[in-house]
């Protein structure tokens, strides 16, 4: 799937570094946990090493959008969009709007940088009977009878209609801005990138953060030298592999922070995987992070702290101080863990 590209010097494998004004202890981690049949939205503060309940919900948020205003957050729970403020604990949620219907599943929400209005991207799967060939061209027939130009015969993946809708000033009306053909559910399919020209976020959506937290930006291509590969194999108690799709990459952050050595493997696309080694300052030794049964990883850095999570659901977060190599936080039962992007990232 086509993804946002990022400079490896600033963002690696989804790593981002918070602005210096955040301070070395300014990072906050957002995650969900289940308790007594409900979802608790939790915030862990690196400054206080304290975890607080931000909000309790019957339905876990499926999508989150961190606004450019520090502390302001929008999220989808059930069939509605809500708003809350991190400055309140526990927070009170305010319903903003009902999700639009008739266009498929909502994949992401954001506040548009130009119009300052909420927008959503939806994806509607196209049935095989609605993939038509007319005059040598492929068309997708939509539920309302309209037809749009479809993908080519050479494109793989599942056919979808991708739409962008914008919430109007009355808070109830969604205006359709565009519907475009795409394919999805396989590596290197375009997915929602076909509407990237209409997706200019004044903040950070969970979809955009996912783009930054994985190998899809090309950062995993920074291949580790042979001596560090040998070190990783020794620490992980592994033998060299003949698998051409498996390897090791390294990320060297700013001066004063330890380098991170980690495995890579090929699925539909390149993924990060165990082991994750926090190297010593001289890179001659290191520590193998205890990651349990995690196999496919996403990683991000804020204020000198490394976050490692399950790529599939943001689960089992482990936080390491890259100044000292100390594990600061771990929550095996947590899901959807991300750094709160405060102050706004560039």
DSSP string, 21-75: GG-TT--EEEEEEEETTEEEEEEEETTTTEEEEEEEESS--SEEEEESSTTEEEE
- Domain end, chosen from 134, 169, 201, is at 201
Same domain, yes or no: 115 and 143: yes
Q: Are residues 154 and 277 in the same domain?
A: no
Q: In this structure, is residue 59 part of a structural domain?
A: no
- Contact criterion met (CB below 8 Å) for 149 and 115: no
Residue 50, Cβ density class (10 Å: 0-12 exposed, 13-18 middle, ≥19 buried): exposed
User: Do residues 161 and 284 share a domain?
Assistant: no
Q: Cα dist. 171→32, 60, 72, 96, 174 in Å?
A: 28, 23, 18, 7, 8
Give the number of domains in the chain: 2
Q: Does residue 317 fall inside a structural domain?
A: yes
DSSP state of 12: S
* pLDDT tens, N- to C-terminus, the chain (346 residues): 333 332 222 333 334 443 333 345 589 999 999 999 999 999 999 999 999 999 999 988 999 999 988 789 999 999 999 999 988 888 999 999 999 999 999 999 999 999 999 999 999 999 999 999 998 899 999 999 999 998 775 677 899 999 999 999 999 999 999 999 999 987 778 999 999 999 999 999 988 888 787 776 666 878 999 999 999 999 998 888 766 557 899 988 888 999 999 999 887 778 899 999 999 999 999 999 999 888 999 998 899 999 999 999 999 999 999 999 999 999 999 999 999 986 544 4
Helix (H) or strand (E) holding 206, with range, is helix 206-213
End-to-end distance of the chain based on CA atoms, in angstroms? 24
Question: What is the DSSP pairing of strand 50-57 with strand 63-67?
Answer: unpaired
Inside any domain, residue 31: no
**Which distant-in-sequence residues (6+ apart) come within 8 Å of 278 by Cβ?**
258, 260, 286, 287, 289, 306, 320, 322, 325
Specify whether 110 is located in the same domain as 136: yes
- Let me know whether 129 and 104 are in one domain: yes
Last residue of a domain, one of 201, 231, 257: 201
Structure tokens at 261: 């050595």
Same domain, 77 and 189: yes
**Which of the listed residues 201, 236, 261 is the one where a domain comes to its end?**
201
Same domain for 159 and 278, yes or no, is no
207 domain-assigned: no
For 86, phi then psi, to 5°, come to -65, -15
User: Beta strand pairing status for 131-134 and 118-125?
Assistant: unpaired
What pTM was estimated for this model as a whole? 0.86
Closest CA to 267 of 313, 216, 219: 216
Same domain for 228 and 139, yes or no, is no
309, part of any domain: yes
Which residue range is the domain that position 169 belongs to?
Answer: 69-201
238 and 287 in a single domain? The answer is yes
Would you say residue 299 lies in a domain? yes
One domain for residues 188 and 242: no
Residue 233 lies in a domain: yes
Which of 28, 62, 13 minimizes the C-alpha distance to 317? Answer: 28
Does residue 41 fall inside a structural domain? no
Is the same domain home to 224 and 127?
no
CB distance 315 to 309 below 8 Å: yes
Do 275 and 169 share a structural domain?
A: no
């Amino acid at each position: 799937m086509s993804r946002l590209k990022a400079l490896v010097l600033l963002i690696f494998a989804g790593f981002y570094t918070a602005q210096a004004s955040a301070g070395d202890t300014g990072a906050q981690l957002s995650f969900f946990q289940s308790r007594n049949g409900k979802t608790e939205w939790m915030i862990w503060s690196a400054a206080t090493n304290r975890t607080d309940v931000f909000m309790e919900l019957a339905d876990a948020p499926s999508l989150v959008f961190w606004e450019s205003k520090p502390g302001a957050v929008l999220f989808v729970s059930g069939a509605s969009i809500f708003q809350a403020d991190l400055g309140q604990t526990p927070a009170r949620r305010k319903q903003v709007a009902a999700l639009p219907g008739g266009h498929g599943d909502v994949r992401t929400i954001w506040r548009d940088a130009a119009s300052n209005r909420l927008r959503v991207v939806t994806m509607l799967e196209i049935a095989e009977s609605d993939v038509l060939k007319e005059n040598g061209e492929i068309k997708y027939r939509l539920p309302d009878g309209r037809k749009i130009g479809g993908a080519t015969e050479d494109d793989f993946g599942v056919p979808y209609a991708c739409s962008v809708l914008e919430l109007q000033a009355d808070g109830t009306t969604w205006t359709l801005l565009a519907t475009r053909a795409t394919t999805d559910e396989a590596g290197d399919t375009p997915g929602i990138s076909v509407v990237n020209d209409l997706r200019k976020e004044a903040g950070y959506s969970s979809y955009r953060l996912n783009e930054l937290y994985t190998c899809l930006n090309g950062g995993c291509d920074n291949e580790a030298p042979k001596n560090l590969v040998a070190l990783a194999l020794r620490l992980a108690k592994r033998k060299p592999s003949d698998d051409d799709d498996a390897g090791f990459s390294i990320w060297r952050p700013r001066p004063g922070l330890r380098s991170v050595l980690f495995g890579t493997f090929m699925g539909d696309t390149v993924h990060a995987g165990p082991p994750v080694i926090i190297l010593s300052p001289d890179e001659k030794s290191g520590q193998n992070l205890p990651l349990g049964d995690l196999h496919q990883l996403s990683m991000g850095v804020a204020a000198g702290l490394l976050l490692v999570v399950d790529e599939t659901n943001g689960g089992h977060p482990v936080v390491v101080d890259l100044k000292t190599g100390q594990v600061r936080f771990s929550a095996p039962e947590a899901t959807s863990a991300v750094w709160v992007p405060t102050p706004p990232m560039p």
